[in-house]
């Protein structure tokens, strides 16, 4: 079932901030499936969806790709939505680009090692 959801699930709405994060048009983003978003690492995408669906919520940092292939790090919070019978009907999330923070942290670690 998870593989089917991953291959066919589509987003129903997206805000401008997320469109900027992925550098894609609204029409293009709404045509993407979860497997498209995680095409660079499908196992990561499947693992994250499984964790979200099992726990009902998820806070994490993910390594992803923009539409042009540029690597990007996101920190996000996601929650499942349910119907009256407790079946998952979708999920809602918020995420922010933390790529610069990750690069800064890496640079600090490298400098710290060089000082030793």
Q: Please spell the DSSP secondary structure of 22-78, one letter per residue.
A: HT--HHHHHH-BHHHHTTT-HHHHHHHHHHHHHHSEEEEEEEEE-TTS-EEEEEEEE
Closest CA to 68 of 34, 28, 33, 35: 28
pLDDT digits (tens, 9 = 90+) for 53-86: 999 999 999 999 999 999 999 999 999 999 999 9
pLDDT digits (tens, 9 = 90+) for 1-22: 899 999 999 999 999 999 999 9
Q: Report the Cα 63 to chain-centroid distance in Å.
A: 8
Indicate the number of domains in the chain.
1
Residue 76, domain extent: 2-115
pTM: 0.83
Bridge partner list, 94: 77
């Amino acid at each position: 079932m998870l593989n089917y959801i991953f291959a066919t699930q589509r987003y129903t709405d997206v805000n401008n901030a997320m469109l900027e994060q992925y550098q894609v048009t609204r029409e293009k983003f709404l045509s993407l499936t979860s497997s498209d978003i995680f095409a660079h690492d499908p196992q990561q995408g499947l693992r994250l969806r499984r964790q979200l669906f099992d726990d009902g919520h998820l806070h994490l940092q993910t390594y992803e790709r923009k539409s042009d292939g540029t690597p990007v790090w996101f920190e996000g919070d996601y929650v499942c939505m349910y119907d009256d019978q407790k079946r998952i009907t979708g999920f809602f999330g918020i995420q922010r680009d933390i790529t610069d923070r990750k690069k800064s942290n890496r640079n600090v670690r490298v400098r710290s090692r060089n000082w030793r």
